[in-house]
Structure 1
Amino acid sequence: MVGCLSKGFDIKQLRPSDLTPVAAPRAIGAVALALAPRGGATRVANLRQSGCLKCILPRVFGPQAEAVVVNTAGGVTGGDDLDLRITLAGGSDVRVTTQAAERIYRSADGTPGRIATRVEVGAGARLHWLPQETILFDRAALDRRLHISLAPDARLLAVETHVMGRAAMGEVVHDLALHDRIAVDRVGVPLVRDGVRLHGDADAVLAAAATGGGAGAIATLIYVAPDAAAQLPAIRAMLPETAGVSLRGEDTLLLRALAPDSLSLRRGMIPVLERLATHSLPSVWRL
């Protein structure tokens, strides 16, 4: 990059050795959101946002608030850094979603993009964590952590989805560096620890019968509520052969579902989410 040229300088005389390499711009964003009950509904107590990460809170008629996370960078690539912190005061009722599917693009040098999310759910509060799918493109690199801390009587419905390219576009992911971790605790005691580490040819790995059976989309659902055990038989009856659910504790369900593509997966997950959600799903989830 040349900031200033002297009068009469001929740019055609420039040689590659005359240019100083400039690092590619990186997207950095952070959101800190606090919500609390007030006047019979959950409302914003504090909101700080910076960089490419934003939070929109549309007006919702009813006791449950909705927060929509927006990445104005349009996706994540190598070196990007996104940080989300959400605090729900006791008695809050909140659903969190995203404006669109998060796209993880090719990393030019293999450096992973980083997404870190931490949510504190207070006494008697309820969180519906319902982001749209994460689409991973060929040569993508992602390091992501989701940590949800629950008070003793807090409730949770959470779903995370990985999609390997866009099936409608014929995309195949042969080179991927994915490290994704989910941790759910209750007062510091682990309820769920779930992680995915997939490095190399994702298409070949998921083609094997013991790993994905040819799946191109994978969803993980976590449900923590007093009626978890009672919900288990009905949820099992709703699932296809490529999905399974188990009781991980007296009030904790863990579900994994596989499908050929994101549309098929969403069609199968929406009835389950509608059964477990105490309110309607965000409008962005409607087919």
Structure 2
Amino acid sequence: MRRRHEKGRGSGGPAGLTAAAATENAIEEAARPGWQARLTLGFERRAQTTVLVRREHYGPLRVQKALYPEGPEVCEVIVLHPPGGIAGGDRLDLSLAAAPHAHALLTTPGAGKWYRSGGRPAQQSLRVRVARDAVVEWLPQETIVFDGADAQMHTRVELAAGGMFCGWEILCLGRTAAGECFGYGQLDLATRIESEGRPLWIERARLSGGSAWLDAAAGLAGRPVSATLLLAGRTVPQEWLDACLALPASDGLLTGVTALPELLVARCLAPNAETARAWLSEVWKCLRPAALGRAAVVPRIWNT
């Protein structure tokens, strides 16, 4: 298996390299083929059990066995990306489908990583189809975008009548634990959620490394971590909104919760990924019993 590694570079980013070293790195990156990976999963409700009935993969993207920590009604799976990170030229495509009355929860074993691109964009697409009265929860652990990454993350969710989707994304710009910031590179985000063909949410964002917007009060306010939770497919009662707004926020955390037609949006800006995930988890724990009729059972993999 081809190993992934990050080449060391001077503290000044690309400018810290000699011209010869920069040229050598560029040639090496351009010659390296990227990973092309696909994963297609299908869930069906059979009697009282949600069953993983379709599991197709190509390349380094897969799941292991289905788990049932909550009982047979909810099928939990862990999406694995064995290389451990996404580099320039890589493309990952995930397709999830839940048949009527199925309930699937998907997460990841650890933080996702987007490496320095070497001049080539990397892509990840997620497509979710939720049939009548089905539920899909997409709750990956945080995504770390390395300095110099060129990342494209696109999500499309299609809901049938009565279908529900709850998903979050926690983005950390730079390896903050190592003192790294997002000084160059870019991150392209696109999310679209539809209910029976009607758009409920359309969002596009482009974050450029080193942009003044990252520190602006109207932008990311100097926080390296931004996170969003979307609950789609139900009219949002006032009590759901009030309960989320009443959740406490730790120091350095900026939060906001908004109700739109058939959509609840919860967002935060945080100094680190742990703080963001802790707050989003509390929002999820607050909403899940009300919206899905189930207590919030935290996936065990989050604690390992």
Classify the TM-score, shorter chain.
0.7 to 0.9
Q: CA deviation at 1:161?
A: 1.3
Distance in 1 between residues matched to 2:157 and 2:111, nearest whole Å: 21
Q: Residue 260 in 1 paired to residue 277 in 2?
A: no
Selected match of 1:246 from 258, 265, 268? 258
2:241 corresponds to which residue?
Answer: 232
1:196 corresponds to which residue?
Answer: 205
Distance in 1 between residues matched to 2:34 and 2:154, nearest whole Å: 19
- Per the alignment, in what secondary structure is the counterpart of residue 91 of structure 1? coil
Q: Residue 78 in 1 paired to residue 78 in 2?
A: no
Selected match of 1:145 from 151, 154, 160? 154
Query: What TM-score results when the alignment is normalised by the length of structure 1?
Result: 0.87
Q: Residue 116 in 1 paired to residue 125 in 2?
A: yes
1:30 corresponds to which residue?
Answer: 38
Contact 2:195 2:233 in 1 (8 A): no
1:15 corresponds to which residue?
Answer: none
Q: CA deviation at 1:225?
A: 4.8
Q: CA deviation at 1:120?
A: 0.5
2:108 corresponds to which residue?
Answer: 98
Q: CA deviation at 1:39?
A: 3.2
- Per the alignment, in what secondary structure is the counterpart of residue 31 of structure 2? coil
Distance in 1 between residues matched to 2:113 and 2:186, nearest whole Å: 14
Contact 1:57 1:66 in 2 (8 A): no
2:47 corresponds to which residue?
Answer: 39
State how many pairs are aligned: 265
Q: Which has the higher strand share?
A: 1
- Per the alignment, in what secondary structure is the counterpart of residue 175 of structure 1? coil
Contact 1:162 1:218 in 2 (8 A): yes
Contact 1:157 1:276 in 2 (8 A): no
Q: Deviations over 1:47-73 (max 9, x none)?
A: 111101112234214110012111112
Distance in 1 between residues matched to 2:79 and 2:101, nearest whole Å: 22
Distance in 1 between residues matched to 2:248 and 2:164, nearest whole Å: 23
- Per the alignment, in what secondary structure is the counterpart of residue 284 of structure 1? helix
Cα 1:145–1:131 shift into 2, 3 Å: same
Q: Which runs of 4+ in 1 moved over 6 A?
A: none
Q: CA deviation at 1:34?
A: 0.7
Output the aligned Cα RMSD: 1.9
Contact 2:159 2:233 in 1 (8 A): no
Distance in 2 between residues matched to 1:234 and 1:131, nearest whole Å: 24
Distance in 1 between residues matched to 2:302 and 2:241, nearest whole Å: 23
Contact 2:181 2:224 in 1 (8 A): no
Contact 1:27 1:73 in 2 (8 A): no
Which runs of 5 or more residues in structure 1 are unaligned?
Answer: 1-19
2:227 corresponds to which residue?
Answer: 219
Which runs of 5 or more residues in structure 2 are unaligned?
Answer: 1-26, 289-293
Q: CA deviation at 1:214?
A: 1.2
1:133 corresponds to which residue?
Answer: 142
Query: What TM-score results when the alignment is normalised by the length of structure 2?
Result: 0.82
Q: CA deviation at 1:94?
A: 0.7
Q: CA deviation at 1:128?
A: 0.9
